[in-house]
């Protein structure tokens, strides 16, 4: 393989099954004099499985900027290095983007080495059309921030792909149900591993299924996009104007204003209620 010195290989690694590693990924890691890893312990297990012995340093979200100088110095001496995350592709809900941006500014050649992706793997077996999709990554852990992010996603017409942690899954699904509605949803858990699970349901149905079991493993969600009604409700400013008129002078309660506009506009009451609370805070 023709490898020019001083390049950084951004290497996709398996999301579970170690046999999903590509021939090129193995070659690039063998050619690299240094491997920057999100978690050195997990990467060393992968390298041991592949029979590769290389120097491995930590490069995660907390020390990415700090390690950029060390890696740049290594590359300037005519060496090549590889960047890997715990699983999948660096920079996609994983560390890597900051390092890549800093090294590119210094003139380093960045070489993508494609590999497995939980987002596209889940989408490919979801049954939803894959012509386009919105990748939302992980939702915020704090409830208020998570709900605001979901409000921002309300008008997205294409399918939406999320990652979620097991301990937050039910909380996120309940917020999705309230804010985005009871849409169709596909859950993929522990993909490519021995306990791989796939469930296709509505959001409400999925909540009922998961409430009966202990949730473990790495989770990817593929959610149906917005329907016309949701998009129309979000795109218009008339709703906010109507709310202001109804609430002016406290002639009508927030609850009653939300019920009335929900019935007139065909928009979920919870969305109007939250908008009304925001207007009151102003």
**pLDDT tens for each residue of 127-144:** 998 889 999 999 999 999
Say what the pLDDT of residue 282 is: 65
Say what the pLDDT of residue 266 is: 62
Say what the pLDDT of residue 232 is: 46
Helix (H, G, I), strand (E, B) or coil at 67: helix
Say what the pLDDT of residue 92 is: 86
Picking from 246, 281, 249, the residue whose alpha carbon sits closest to that of residue 262 is 246
Say what the pLDDT of residue 7 is: 94
**pLDDT tens for each residue of 34-66:** 999 999 999 999 999 999 999 999 999 899 988
Phi, psi of 34 (to 5 degrees): -145, 140
Q: Are 28 and 11 in contact (CB under 8 A)?
A: yes
Q: How many helices (H) and strands (E) does the chain have?
A: 12, 10
Say what the pLDDT of residue 256 is: 84
Residues lower than pLDDT 70 in the chain:
1-5, 227-236, 249-250, 263, 265-266, 282
Picking from 195, 151, 201, the residue whose alpha carbon sits closest to that of residue 176 is 151
Kind plus residue range of the DSSP H or E element containing 280: helix 269-281
The answer to whether the Cα torsion of 59, 162, 144, 248 is positive or negative is positive
Helix (H, G, I), strand (E, B) or coil at 38: coil
Say what the pLDDT of residue 26 is: 97
Say what the pLDDT of residue 249 is: 66
């Amino acid at each position: 393989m023709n490898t020019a010195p001083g390049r950084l290989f951004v290497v996709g690694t398996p999301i579970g099954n170690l046999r999903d590693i590509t021939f090129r990924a193995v070659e690039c890691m063998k050619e690299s004099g240094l491997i920057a890893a999100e978690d050195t312990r997990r990467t060393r297990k992968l390298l041991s499985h592949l029979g590769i012995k290389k120097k491995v340093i930590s490069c995660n979200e907390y020390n990415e900027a700090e390690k950029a100088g060390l890696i740049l110095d290594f590359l300037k001496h005519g060496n090549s290095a590889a960047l890997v995350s715990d699983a999948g592709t660096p920079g996609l809900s994983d560390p890597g983007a900051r390092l890549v941006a800093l090294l590119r500014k210094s003139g380093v050649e960045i070489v993508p080495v494609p590999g497995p992706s939980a987002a596209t793997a889940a989408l490919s077996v979801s049954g939803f059309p894959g012509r386009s999709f919105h990748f939302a990554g992980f939702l915020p852990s704090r409830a208020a921030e998570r709900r605001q992010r979901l409000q921002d996603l309300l008008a997205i017409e294409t399918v939406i792909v999320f990652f979620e942690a097991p301990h937050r899954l039910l909380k996120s699904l309940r917020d999705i149900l309230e804010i985005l509605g009871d849409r169709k949803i596909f859950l993929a858990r522990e993909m490519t591993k021995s306990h791989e699970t796939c469930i296709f349901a509505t959001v409400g149905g999925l909540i009922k299924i998961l409430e009966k079991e202990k949730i473990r493993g790495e989770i990817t969600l593929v959610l149906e996009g917005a329907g016309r009604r949701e998009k129309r409700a979000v795109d218009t400013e008339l709703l906010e104007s109507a709310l202001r008129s109804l609430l002016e002078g406290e002639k009508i309660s927030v609850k009653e204003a939300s019920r009335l506009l929900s019935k007139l506009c065909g928009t979920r009451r919870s969305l109007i209620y939250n908008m009304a609370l925001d207007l009151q805070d102003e």
